[in-house]
Structure 1
């Protein structure tokens, strides 16, 4: 098998145990359907079958069934599987629940059967379905075989008796190993009933039916081997790449309160009418990352490895982008970014771009930040690339900025009023006196002290406040929405 998913060789994980005999039949037909001239040409697959206590009886989508499959998918993820083969129609009644919680591709068995019917029987519109009571009541096939192209027919029940469910799940049914006699007779009568209703082709909605297809005998209309159709579809790769929700990875803990503030801004700025409209987030809250400022202006530990390790954990968690709601940490971004496989959204770059677009006539930009951020020059360099000039407080006031952030009564110690606010206000007043009209709150804790979009000085002079955390949040939201629209266009094109 040479088909690739995003540059990787496809590796199948086959969920067994839901119907042990039928699962083995699908596995056999997968091997048989592979166009291979020698052993090396066959696909890479793992067939896993664990004891499932409800496999022999009951046709409902129980919690046990859902968790059994999900745990197997999680195990497959750890073993390098790219594509899940789920040979169980009943389990496809909750396939969306599984897909929403895994990045692996789950090949749809009902879509495979519909594709087979379209190709092999192009004139057939009346489709008879042999499904269990639960699958039938969930209208699974009606969601795929839709009018006006198709009309779905089911065997008629007599006094509430469902012959198809009984044939498979009954005391002497196929799941109990009986491949002749009474269960076959029940299925044969169900097929004749469908033919009597005008069915032009019959498709099984239970993988066990393929085991007794020959025993059912010749019919006046085709009886599809759904297991073979599924196997051929899986091997063909004629299905699109899995669509997954865009996920923003957040390096948290730098600092903890700023992380919570950033998450609130993500939620507040997301256009959502319900919970499910919000963005998927993966937060690695790691307050043990060494202090960035202590390293930049003192002899503190280097945070590079800790930042990189945190980003890699987000990458391993299938994040699509990484946000670091810490201005000072961006002094280390250039060191680690080349070693990651997903992008870091640079908070400084997007903030400077926002400044240029929002205030095109301005040149001087005030920056309030930690001394580490100031001395690293990251904001100065980013501003200069856009033709802007950084203005920072004089040394004595910069000390007050640091006290407001790191001091005994500073924001990192949990304070947001009192002396810390007075210290920051004094720094802003000084920047206003230098003619600055816009001030960047270049430390993620500062928006906790200077709320709102404007500061009014004692003289009545006003200055605009730009919060990089808010700019970063909006940019991450924009990426997520853009990705969602692209994915939807891709789905519509399939």
Structure 2
């Protein structure tokens, strides 16, 4: 297979499925051959990223299997890697150091989209896993881009973890009221001009429930758009 990319998925599987669905839905296709070539690595048994970031002394390290995936897939020669798990970007620099093939950086794509879609935004909020909040993979570049970073309150963070782990991961179910309540608190109580959806399980909630007119940037959606752009560019160059 030529002109393909590799998706490092399975973290979690429902979130990866949402990425694939959005990828196929947004690809400008009118026949089978118009869709994109890709290899999906649905590595569902990768240890939980948040567990490790919060307690690295007692939890298994997700970097070990992720590094194996990158090294194995690099031998196939994909054009690029997509990593549809925000929390896994904690290991981004270590993974990128293992290969010359570019790995798309989902948080950076999401932050760049803020300037494009919300040019007057000053206060940028984030809802994500405890691991992503702790590792500052969004906080540092948001501040570097000149925005005021808005951390969710402990109560909002706990509600977000319930949405991610108890609902989407555990039951493949989205509590629409809870999702909208989280967004409402970020926008109305914390005065966010835009909220980044920094977890692919939250992207599942966005796909199924919508954001009820609250200003959001869906990091997974930005990764999808960049995946399509690069894949179509690679195809066109070789035609």
How many residue pairs are counted as aligned between the two chains? 236
- Alpha-carbon distance in structure 1 between the residues aligned to 2:99 and 2:121: 35
State whether residues 113 and 217 of structure 2, in contact with CA within 8 Å, keep that contact through their aligned partners in structure 1. no
TM-score (norm 1): 0.46
Task: Provide runs of 4+ in structure 1 moved above 4 Å.
Answer: none
2:12 is aligned, of 245, 255, 265, to 255
2:29 is aligned, of 267, 272, 279, to 272
- Residue aligning to 1:429: 184
Is 1:479 aligned with 2:230? yes
2:41 is aligned, of 275, 279, 284, to 284
> Unaligned stretches of 5+ in structure 1?
1-100, 102-244, 457-461, 489-494
1:363 is aligned, of 116, 122, 127, to 122
- Alpha-carbon distance in structure 2 between the residues aligned to 1:381 and 1:482: 31
Higher relative contact order (CA 8 A, sep 6+): 2
Q: String of CA shifts for 1:59-96, please: whole Å, max 9, x gaps.
A: xxxxxxxxxxxxxxxxxxxxxxxxxxxxxxxxxxxxxx
Q: String of CA shifts for 1:248-298, please: whole Å, max 9, x gaps.
A: 100111110011111111111111121111110101111111110001112
- Alpha-carbon distance in structure 2 between the residues aligned to 1:391 and 1:311: 33
Equivalence map 1:54-73=2 (5 Å): none
Q: String of CA shifts for 1:423-482, please: whole Å, max 9, x gaps.
A: 3333212112222232111110112223379634xxxxx422221111101101111122
State whether residues 250 and 314 of structure 1, in contact with CA within 8 Å, keep that contact through their aligned partners in structure 2. no
Is 1:326 aligned with 2:85? yes
State whether residues 70 and 98 of structure 2, in contact with CA within 8 Å, keep that contact through their aligned partners in structure 1. no
Q: String of CA shifts for 1:369-411, please: whole Å, max 9, x gaps.
A: 001000100001121222122213201221111111112xx21
Q: CA deviation at 1:335?
A: 1.6
- Residue aligning to 2:134: 375
Q: Which has a greater percent of helix?
A: 2
CA RMSD of aligned residues (A): 1.8
Q: String of CA shifts for 1:199-257, please: whole Å, max 9, x gaps.
A: xxxxxxxxxxxxxxxxxxxxxxxxxxxxxxxxxxxxxxxxxxxxxx3211001111100
Structure 1 residues 453, 464: closer, same or farther in 2, change over 3 A?
farther
- Residue aligning to 1:175: none
TM-score (norm 2): 0.92
Q: CA deviation at 1:416?
A: 2.0
> Which one has the largest radius of gyration?
1
- Residue aligning to 2:75: 316
- Residue aligning to 2:156: 397
State whether residues 184 and 214 of structure 2, in contact with CA within 8 Å, keep that contact through their aligned partners in structure 1. no
- Alpha-carbon distance in structure 2 between the residues aligned to 1:270 and 1:362: 29
Equivalence map 1:223-238=2 (5 Å): none
